[in-house]
Each structure stands twice: as structure tokens, then as C-alpha cells.
Amino acid sequence: MRKLTMILATAMVATMLPAMAVSAEDEVISVGFAQVGHESDWRTASTKSCQDVFSEENGYDLKFVDCDNDEAAQKEAVRSFIEQEVDYIIIDPIIATGWDTVLTECEDAGIPVIVIDRTIDDSDKYVSWVGSNFKTEGQAAAEWLKAYAEKEGIDELNILTISGSTGSSAQIGRSDGFNEVAEENGWNLIDEQTGDFTEAGGQEVMENYCKSYEGQFNVVVCQNDNEAFGAMTAMDNAGVTYGPGNDVILISYDACTAGLEDVAAGKITADFECNPLAAPFVEDVIKTLAAGEEPEKEVYMIEHWYALPEQIVDFEIDGVPQEMTEVTDEVIEAQY
Ligand code: GZL
């Protein structure tokens, strides 16, 4: 019993130690991170998560490149990491395809690649992917809408979507997940145009929608909070009201702090979280590799579906009951 106790205690102490360099010689571990850009609150939180974990204090040399939503620049950043002979490469792929050539170059250079957040769909030459199930996020939003509309006695759903960056796995998954449920239920999907995950993009698309579809829509789906912020500005300017008890049901994704504040303010009707804090799980992958073990190929983040009490309804995804989280001051305070 004593031996077992010692093992558990040691294990507990080990988990309590701050993140530390993962090489036996305690050399600095160099990590190259090719980040999508700086387009949203979500992205800012994702970047901070990596900078906090892969810090000099924790024994890392983080080489960070903000690729500014430019696919070519992202490939160039990865190749620069190869030239610098980093120990590990992290990629959040702007779009899901066009990766096999550069991943082969990483493999030839013997540098493990860890993909975070968005997926790479045309190559598996990476060690692990840490992120979210975007299709599930889309299904959650649609199944919630179905249950909420039934509760509110709304018979007709006329839907406008402001989608994310075209070709990103987040946009593909959210569109596929939501639209499949919409088509199963015969909802009217009026239009879907990209806002590129930015506030300016959301406002521009919503301005066009307010002109083209005046009086024809009662649901707006924004594929991230920053698009929703822009859409709200456009609807304010067009005299369209949104949020519980108003003209338009406004659905958003990410559930960043500012997004949840808009839920609490009765502006966003429901917000479907995408968790940006992947870096601790990426460090676990690096530690597993450094220990000579094989990490999981896929690591899924835990996410929540947020609303105010009046908008919390029971719904299922593929028969699995979903729990919603009430937006409170404490929940907002704790968000990213
Ligand atoms: C999703 C992520 C998306 C966020 C946006 O995981 O890639 O990109 O939903 C961000 O806020 O721009």
C-alpha cells in the first residue's frame, strides 16, 4: 500500500509542477507556430494560449508567425521553421487543403508537426490534431434552433448565414452541420455569404442582406462572434431588432467573452462555443513525444452551448442529449 501511495503522490506532485522544458538535458525546446492571423477575439485567445505555454520561462523558444490569413505566407512560415531546424512545428491551417507537399518537407526534415484548431484534410503527415468538432457545433446550433422555435411557436424559419473564411474547416463544418439539419426540417436557407470571420466582414454582408432581403428573414447565423458584432451594427443601422423577443433570432459561434456579454445583454440569442485554449494539450503531445511514446492522433476540446435561462431548451445531437450553460456574470468572468 505504501509503495502505491508513493506512486500516486509522486504522480500528483508531477502534475502540480509548472510546465517545464521537455528535453532530458533541459535544453531549450524550439517551437515554430504558424498562426492563422489576428482576425478575431478567438484568434487572440488562441495566440495568447500558445505564448503563455511555450514561454522562455517554461523552457521554450517560441518562433511565432502571424500569417494574416495568407495561405502562401503560412506555407512560407513553415518552411522557415524547417530552415531554422526547430524541434516542433505547430500549424493552425488557414484552409484545409494544399498541405501535403510542405508536410512532406517537415517529415523529411524529421520535425514533428502538431495541427491545432482547424484541420488539414489532404494529408495525415502530422503527429496530432488538437481542436473542435466543427460539424457538431453546426448541428448543435441547428438542433437548438429547432427546439427553441418549437418552444416559441415559430413555424417558419427564414435563415441568412454569414459564414467564416471559405474553405476553412471551421466554415465547412459549421455550414455542413447546420445546413443538414435545416434541410431535414424544410427550413428556408435564403443566403450564405462569407464574412471571413471578421467584424468588418460581418457588417458588410449584413448591410447587403438588409437591403436585399428586407422583411424576409427571422434568423441570422454568424459563424463567429466578431461577424455577429458587425451584423448587429448593420441591423441597428437598418432598424432591424435582434435577440430574444425581437425581429431576428441571432445565433453565433465561439462564445468569446464579448460574445457572452452580448448574450447576457439580450442581443445574441444563443452562442456555441469553440474552445481556443489548445496549447496545454499541445504541450502534452510534445511531452509524450519527448518520452518516446505515441500521442493520440486527435484530441478534442470540451465546448459549451450558452444562452440566458429563457432560451435554454432541451435538444439532442444524433440522439445524444445536450446540456446548455446559463450565461451568468461568473461564466463571463471565467471565459477566454
Ligand atoms: C475555429 C476558428 C475560427 C473561429 C474564428 O476553430 O478557426 O477562426 O471560430 C476564428 O473566430 O477566426
Q: Which atom of ligand 1 is the closest one to the Cα of 225? A: 11
Q: Which atom of ligand 1 is the closest one to the Cα of 37? A: 12
**Distance (Å) from CA 42 to ligand 1 centroid:** 6
105 and 141 part of one domain: no
| pLDDT of amino acid 16 | 43
pLDDT digits over 251-305, tens only? 999 999 999 999 999 999 999 999 999 999 999 999 999 999 999 999 999 999 9
| pLDDT of amino acid 22 | 46
55 and 20 part of one domain: yes
- The per-residue pLDDT of the chain, averaged, comes to 93
**Distance (Å) from CA 170 to ligand 1 centroid:** 6
What's the mean pLDDT in 200-216?
Answer: 98
178 and 147 part of one domain: yes
Residue 68 has pLDDT above 60, yes or no: yes
The structural domain count of the chain equals 2
Dist. CA 315–CA 259, nearest whole Å: 22
Range of the domain at 127: 2-132+276-300
Query: What residue spans of 86-245 are helical by DSSP H?
Result: 100-108, 134-152, 169-184, 199-212, 225-238
Query: pLDDT band for position 25 (50/70/90)?
Result: low
138 and 124 part of one domain: no
**Distance (Å) from CA 6 to ligand 1 centroid:** 43
CATH code of the domain containing 78:
3.40.50.2300
Give residue ranges with CB within 6 A of ligand 1. 39-40, 42-43, 117-118, 132, 170, 197, 224, 253-254, 274
In percent, the amount of the chain with pLDDT more than 70 equals 92
Segment (H or E) for 254? strand 249-254
What's the mean pLDDT in 105-125?
Answer: 97
Q: 0.95 cut: is pTM over it?
A: no
Residue 4 has pLDDT above 70, yes or no: no
Residue 9 has pLDDT above 90, yes or no: no
Residue 8 has pLDDT above 70, yes or no: no
CB 124 within 8 A of CB 289: no
- Taking each helix axis from N to C end, the angle separating 134-152 and 169-184, rounded to the nearest 10 degrees, works out to 40
What's the mean pLDDT in 314-332?
Answer: 98
161 and 294 part of one domain: no
In a mutational test of the pocket of ligand 1, which residue from 92, 115, 198, 274 has the highest number of ligand atoms less than 8 Å from its CB? 274
